[in-house]
Chains A and B, each alone.
Chain A
């Protein structure tokens, strides 16, 4: 049933880069899962396996100085936007070298240097914040665009509707990227929403929307190029609904009992890694070697990231007190007297 990825108009270098990015995101998550099972990483994780084509396609179409907002499932977004595997992995380990200095953890990956505010782990939280980013770009006439990732579950939050209405009426340079993976945690979208097409729902705000195969990085990239162009040229925000699927559970403890193996298998046939690989090799079987080399490079990069994270120092206790405010409050000179 799987439709082949269409590489028409995509040069070899771009195709291989898309493949590399999709595999980087996947392998990072697979490694994180193993490390979790071994008990090396604390807390919880919300994993991205299956959805890689969305983050990769979107970030490939963004300019380096465009910004993104992310969610409680940010690993893929962060790496696709340019956070290094080292900085991301070290953050998961809670190390001082992590992208948040060990103070954020899995749900807050981000790095302003690559145009990503620390991920906002409140469902639809980023949808209201991104309006202001668009407003800043518009007032500064910077030509930048902000892309806002969220899942289909966010579309039932009030913030989603207020954020979309706000940016639509003010014609802000924003692209909303809805990753529709069919389930909000364990509940199917159609059980919580009578209009399950997000593209239909946003018509109410006058925002143009396109639906795209979220398992195809080439298609997502093309949709994002179109949406970015629309947003950057002063026409206001646009929305992309990427139909996708997370192969993993919602979070660490999710055994996925709410969906059938058959459904999972159907979606796995659409695995963006296999499809990208097939498309590249269909065009030129000689690229087998390039692909093998990419795979090997990613394993090296990943091993290095894990080693870096393991060897990195833990944050000092004083770090817990830094960056709460620009300047710490003065410590009162009058302290405990004896009676």
Chain B
């Protein structure tokens, strides 16, 4: 147990798993000498040497593909995609190869690899370095997708991802790397992929969050004293149907808060499934609080509007809890866009 930043929690988890299992290797741009562009692999080169901690060319397709081949033949590579956007040039290796080997080989070839990528807005990086893009990978059977929301979950989920026998896409909210929290290390700090956690208990609505929207929603609930149950999903594939459904049966209402653009978001999948399974328990229409259907704008005030903000979350949830009517997002309310 100790206080650490999320990037330190990630480096700690990597180091522990590398100590535990000599087949775990780390590859990526600037991950060795520099300790990672976000300092998530600091100290690894010194402890484990250049064979297991490998600086690669700026070549995402090259090293992600290499991870697939290495995983197929017995290693457990963890590759770092500096910004999730760079996964675009390497999607073939992940979606078309890693996700299919087990299926095509009747279980003989597996790809126990982890693709770590930093995601999200909030740091003024502009529209090509601020997306979350979880939908790129969440609709591919054969892949798992996890997304921590604080140092503890980063530590516990990453260890689970490295130990997992299947390829796992591990999405790290960039704005949280510097956030600090208590981290229980060792077996007690391990989390299970596919299991959500209740981040705040409440009775009037179930609010499902992921990654960065967890802490924003928790802050919103505290600030406005909202009686909501926050479920931090932690894993998107598989997602914890059971925990969400049980909560909705208690509260009768469901809201999903996503950082991604509205159209085609994963929250629609959650709402569709829960509506089908717990329709009679719902006393109001479920809905989603999301980003608008636009690229992430650069200017600070506009970027702050993009991500569902604490005040926007408070406004929409307060209205919904009182009236049971689905509120309009700010951009519709202000007559800016659909």
Which of A120, A166, A326, A337 is the one whose CB lies under 8 Å from B59? A166
* Chain B contacts for A108, CB-based, 8 A: 104
In contact, A166 and B276 (Cβ under 8 angstroms):
no
Knowing A103-B104, A165-B59, A325-B142, the reply to whether A336 touches B277 (Cβ < 8 A) is yes
Knowing A326-B166, A336-B276, the reply to whether A158 touches B104 (Cβ < 8 A) is no
Q: Give Cα A337–Cα B245 distance, bound, in whole angstroms.
A: 12
**Segment at the A interface, from B73-81, B124-132, B212-220:** B73-81
* Chain A contacts for B108, CB-based, 8 A: 112-113
Knowing A132-B77, A334-B241, the reply to whether A165 touches B65 (Cβ < 8 A) is no
* Chain A contacts for B37, CB-based, 8 A: none
Smallest CB separation, A167 vs chain B (Å): 8
Smallest CB separation, B217 vs chain A (Å): 24
Which of B67, B109, B245 is the one whose CB lies under 8 Å from A112? B109
Smallest CB separation, B51 vs chain A (Å): 6
Q: Give Cα A325–Cα B54 distance, bound, in whole angstroms.
A: 28
In contact, A131 and B66 (Cβ under 8 angstroms):
yes
B102 located at the interface, meaning its Cβ lies under 8 Å from any Cβ of chain A in the complex: yes
In contact, B69 and A332 (Cβ under 8 angstroms):
no
A100 located at the interface, meaning its Cβ lies under 8 Å from any Cβ of chain B in the complex: yes
Interface of chain B, main secondary structure: helix
Q: Give Cα A256–Cα B241 distance, bound, in whole angstroms.
A: 53
Q: Give Cα A110–Cα B73 distance, bound, in whole angstroms.
A: 15
Q: Give Cα A319–Cα B182 distance, bound, in whole angstroms.
A: 45
Smallest CB separation, B90 vs chain A (Å): 8
In contact, A163 and B65 (Cβ under 8 angstroms):
yes
Taken residue by residue from 146 to 184, chain A's Cβ proximity to chain B (1 for < 8 Å, 0 otherwise) reads as: 100000000000110011011101100000000000000
Within 8 A of A (CB), among B25-83: 25, 51-52, 54, 56-57, 59, 61-75, 77
* Chain A contacts for B96, CB-based, 8 A: 120, 122, 125
Which of A101, A135, A325 is the one whose CB lies under 8 Å from B75? A135
In contact, A131 and B69 (Cβ under 8 angstroms):
yes
In contact, A337 and B278 (Cβ under 8 angstroms):
yes
In contact, B103 and A337 (Cβ under 8 angstroms):
no
* Chain B contacts for A198, CB-based, 8 A: none
- Interface residue tally for chain B (C-beta within 8 Å): 58
**In this complex, what residue of B is CB-closest to A320?**
B103
Q: Give Cα A163–Cα B59 distance, bound, in whole angstroms.
A: 9
B106 located at the interface, meaning its Cβ lies under 8 Å from any Cβ of chain A in the complex: yes
**Segment at the B interface, from A136-144, A187-195, A211-219, A240-248:** A136-144
Smallest CB separation, A317 vs chain B (Å): 15
B238 located at the interface, meaning its Cβ lies under 8 Å from any Cβ of chain A in the complex: yes
In contact, A334 and B278 (Cβ under 8 angstroms):
yes
Knowing A117-B109, A162-B57, the reply to whether A133 touches B73 (Cβ < 8 A) is yes
In contact, A67 and B73 (Cβ under 8 angstroms):
yes
* Chain A contacts for B276, CB-based, 8 A: 336
A316 located at the interface, meaning its Cβ lies under 8 Å from any Cβ of chain B in the complex: no
* Chain A contacts for B279, CB-based, 8 A: 337, 339
Most A C-beta atoms less than 10 A away, residue of B109, B164, B166? B109
In contact, B57 and A117 (Cβ under 8 angstroms):
no
Q: Give Cα A184–Cα B277 distance, bound, in whole angstroms.
A: 51
In contact, B69 and A130 (Cβ under 8 angstroms):
yes
A118 located at the interface, meaning its Cβ lies under 8 Å from any Cβ of chain B in the complex: yes
Taken residue by residue from 312 to 337, chain B's Cβ proximity to chain A (1 for < 8 Å, 0 otherwise) reads as: 00000000000000000000000000
In contact, B72 and A324 (Cβ under 8 angstroms):
no
Most A C-beta atoms less than 10 A away, residue of B64, B66, B67, B71? B66
A292 located at the interface, meaning its Cβ lies under 8 Å from any Cβ of chain B in the complex: no
Which of A104, A122, A136 is the one whose CB lies under 8 Å from B104? A104
Smallest CB separation, B252 vs chain A (Å): 13
Q: Give Cα A169–Cα B27 distance, bound, in whole angstroms.
A: 14
B181 located at the interface, meaning its Cβ lies under 8 Å from any Cβ of chain A in the complex: no
Q: Give Cα A172–Cα B108 distance, bound, in whole angstroms.
A: 24
Knowing A67-B73, A129-B72, A131-B66, the reply to whether A322 touches B97 (Cβ < 8 A) is no
Which of A118, A327, A335, A337 is the one whose CB lies under 8 Å from B109? A118
Knowing A334-B242, A337-B279, the reply to whether A135 touches B61 (Cβ < 8 A) is no
In contact, B61 and A158 (Cβ under 8 angstroms):
yes
Smallest CB separation, B108 vs chain A (Å): 4
Q: Give Cα A139–Cα B102 distance, bound, in whole angstroms.
A: 23
B246 located at the interface, meaning its Cβ lies under 8 Å from any Cβ of chain A in the complex: yes
**In this complex, what residue of B is CB-closest to A338?**
B280
In contact, B245 and A131 (Cβ under 8 angstroms):
no
A284 located at the interface, meaning its Cβ lies under 8 Å from any Cβ of chain B in the complex: no
* Chain A contacts for B18, CB-based, 8 A: none
* Chain A contacts for B266, CB-based, 8 A: none
Smallest CB separation, B88 vs chain A (Å): 12
Q: Give Cα A337–Cα B282 distance, bound, in whole angstroms.
A: 12
Most B C-beta atoms less than 10 A away, residue of A169, A324, A339? A324
In contact, B103 and A103 (Cβ under 8 angstroms):
yes
Binding site for B on A (CB under 8 A): 67, 69, 100-101, 103-104, 108, 110-113, 117-118, 120, 122, 125, 127-137, 139-140, 146, 158-159, 162-163, 165-167, 169-170, 322-327, 329-330, 332-339
A-B contact pairs, 10 of them (CB 8 A): A69-B69, A117-B105, A132-B71, A135-B70, A166-B59, A323-B105, A324-B142, A326-B110, A334-B242, A339-B280
Binding site for A on B (CB under 8 A): 25, 51-52, 54, 56-57, 59, 61-75, 77, 89, 92-93, 96-97, 100-110, 141-142, 144, 164-166, 194, 238, 241-242, 245-246, 249, 276-281
